Amino acid sequence: MSLNSEFNAVDTNDGIYENSKLMSTKATVSLSHFKRMAPIDIEFNDLTYTIPYGRKGKKVILSGVSGQFKSGELTAILGPSGAGKSSLLNILAGYKSTGVTGHISINGQTREAKRLRKLSCYIMQEDLLQPMLTVFEALQFAVDLKLGKTSREEKLTAIEDVLEILRLKRAKDTITERLSGGEKKRLSIALELVNNPAVIFLDEPTSGLDEISAAQCIDLLVRLARLGRTVICSLHTPSASIFSKFDHTYVVAGGQCIYRGTVDNLVPFLRQVGIECPKHYNPADFVIEVSAGDYGTEWTSRMINLVDTELPIVPICRPTQREFQLPKEMPRLSWCDQFVILSRRMTLQLWRNKNYMYLKIGLHVFLGFIIGALFLNVGNDGSKTLFNFGFCFACLILFLYVPMLPVLLHFPSEVQLVKREYFNMWYKLSPYYCAFTVMNIPVQVLVSTIYLSMVYIITGQPLELFRCAMFFGICFICMFIAESMALAIASTLNIVNGTFVGPAISVPLMLLAVQGLGETQTLPVYRKLIMYLSYIRYGLEGLVTALYGFNRENLYCPPEEIFCEFRAPRQILLTMQMENVVFWVDVVALIVILVLLKILTYYLLRQRLKPNRTFRALHLIGRLIKNHFDFNT
């Protein structure tokens, strides 16, 4: 059976059930090899959504809207900008729940957000894809994560079927970042289609596409709807040809429903209201203009008053023998399996992104030559000991900014991608976070070792294995601390705010680290407490102790130097008030700081994906303050 014949064979919701067994026994491109989900009908009543706003307290986005979206139908949610169409889609998908009142049911049963998420997928407006994977590889990882212990043959069959349905076979070996806009959109749909979801939510699926690509995308959604799925998407300004492909449309204006029904009945309904759509005018454009008030606000009020009487919501009744219970549990991979798959995906992308690796290695080699030249042969020269102290501080500063800045620029985008995959239940957060942490270690250690090996030799540091190991170890820990601090910032803030906050925080860390150095009097307790709030202080003590502690022999002083104050290594420790420093205490302190930052990053990332009451309250307070200032200005 071809797609076209199957498309024509299934015209109604009942037909979907009649053809399900037939489709499951034939080699069709219909995902029939998957467990067939029960058709899902979504109904919502008196749905209201409010957000805090200025001094007024609240702003109503949706006001008592009601409607139903049926299985086997392609539904478009229309409305002008700010009408509430995306908010309605987010609420139905379970993406937003705070500030929502009303009732949402699935097949007549009260909706449970978590259960619906297991049966549905939400394809957001922005095409967030793994950039360094081919189309086939992206689907392969999606299948591995979403289909659990399914056999390899079934997974490959699923990939081939999805590639065929979405017309991606020709591009299956193309890197995702090189795909066209239409191909990226189809791939975004394909990634969520591999586990045969019963409900598909799409936010602006035609946004950014040309007319042909947009038409192809909607044709695809029509086919998916005919195969028994509930497909709901928000649209901004669809063309007449694209609008005619939809089965059902739901129009919102000012947070209220002004039309719900078939596409063909839209023009007669407008005529019944008293406003005539021009003969050669796009009905979608016309109803959006009416809802925006271009022809007067009285027409919108009339439509709101008539929609309940002329287009009442009729309960959906299906034959008893065709009723299906929603599955209580969906099979999921174990934690270890998720960790292994995500690690493989990250490793492959890292290997593919060779230009970035070459750039990173080149940068560390360049910095190694620059720092080495600035502090040439200061390590064994007793007359240049203070310069060597500056070298230790320079290494810590380098391992503060170099690991931090790339994370602040890249990770906020990664968070958006993780947010989509986590919401669509690809994996749990903990295996992703552990895989991300582990995969970063070899790269950071490699480039840091290249830099440290260069500067350690060029600057003439003591070639003793235990001192070299301690010096490298302290630098590695400080590098991971800076990276973790950047991850904590980037998991909460966007790129602009993160690149401001990160460097701003680093300034007091550097100032606190050098407080009290060279002073002859003992520092007060409060100054010591403040000083040790900076991890750089522990790193500085560790590096200086590694180079000059542990009973190091006297340093060489050039004959032309009449007075060589720091010939004895212990003298520099006394001058810097580090004579009583215990190296391993600093190491333990740095490790504790690193672990705490890792835990904090995981906590902040989890709150970004699934905020608890505390974070929702903080977010609410922040929005109130922002709206208050916006209102005053």
CA–CA separation, 138 and 41 (whole Å): 30
Residue ranges of alpha helices (H) inside 255-353 are 266-273, 283-291, 297-310, 335-352
- Check residue 584 and give its pLDDT: 94
Q: How confident is the model at residue 175 (pLDDT cuts 50, 70, 90)?
A: very high
- Check residue 83 and give its pLDDT: 86
Residues pairing with 109 in the sheet: 106
- Check residue 54 and give its pLDDT: 63
The answer to whether 132 and 177 are in contact (CB under 8 A) is yes
The full DSSP string for 184-235 is: HHHHHHHHHHTT--SEEEEESTTTT--HHHHHHHHHHHHHHHHTT-EEEEE-
- Check residue 573 and give its pLDDT: 85
Say yes or no to pLDDT of 394 above 90. yes
Say yes or no to pLDDT of 355 above 80. yes
Token pair 């959906």: residue: 316
Q: How confident is the model at residue 333 (pLDDT cuts 50, 70, 90)?
A: confident
Q: CA triplet 502, 506, 508: central angle to 5 degrees? A: 130
Say yes or no to pLDDT of 36 above 60. no
Mean pLDDT for all residues in the chain: 84
Average pLDDT over residues 434-440: 95
Say yes or no to pLDDT of 33 above 60. no
- Check residue 335 and give its pLDDT: 92
CA–CA separation, 275 and 560 (whole Å): 100
Structure tokens belonging to residue 107: 């097949």
Instruction: Report, in angstroms and rounded to the nearest whole number, the Rg of the chain calculated over CA atoms.
Output: 31
Say yes or no to pLDDT of 628 above 60. no
Say yes or no to pLDDT of 227 above 90. no
Spell 530-563 as b/e; 16+ CB within 10 A means b: bbeebbbbbbbbbbbbbbbbeebeebebeeeeee
Say yes or no to pLDDT of 76 above 50. yes
396-419 confidence digits (pLDDT tens): 999 999 999 999 999 999 999 999
229-269 confidence digits (pLDDT tens): 899 999 888 888 999 999 999 999 988 999 999 999 999 99
Average pLDDT over residues 415-432: 92
356-392 confidence digits (pLDDT tens): 999 999 999 999 999 999 999 998 888 888 899 999 9
Token pair 């994996």: residue: 427
What is the bridge-based pairing of β-strands 100-106 and 256-262?
Answer: unpaired
540-560 confidence digits (pLDDT tens): 999 999 999 888 888 888 887
Lowest mean pLDDT among 30-44, 259-273, 605-619: 30-44
- Check residue 325 and give its pLDDT: 47
Residues pairing with 234 in the sheet: 77, 203
Q: How confident is the model at residue 486 (pLDDT cuts 50, 70, 90)?
A: very high
Average pLDDT over residues 407-435: 93
Q: How confident is the model at residue 13 (pLDDT cuts 50, 70, 90)?
A: very low
Query: Is residue 94 left, alpha or beta, with left meaning phi > 0 and alpha meaning psi from -120 to 50?
Result: left
Q: In the chain, pLDDT over 90 holds for what percent of residues?
A: 42
Maximum mean pLDDT: which of 139-153, 278-292, 469-483: 469-483
Q: CA triplet 267, 272, 273: central angle to 5 degrees? A: 95
Give the number of C-alpha atoms closer than 13 A to the C-alpha of residue 529, restricted to the C-beta side: 3
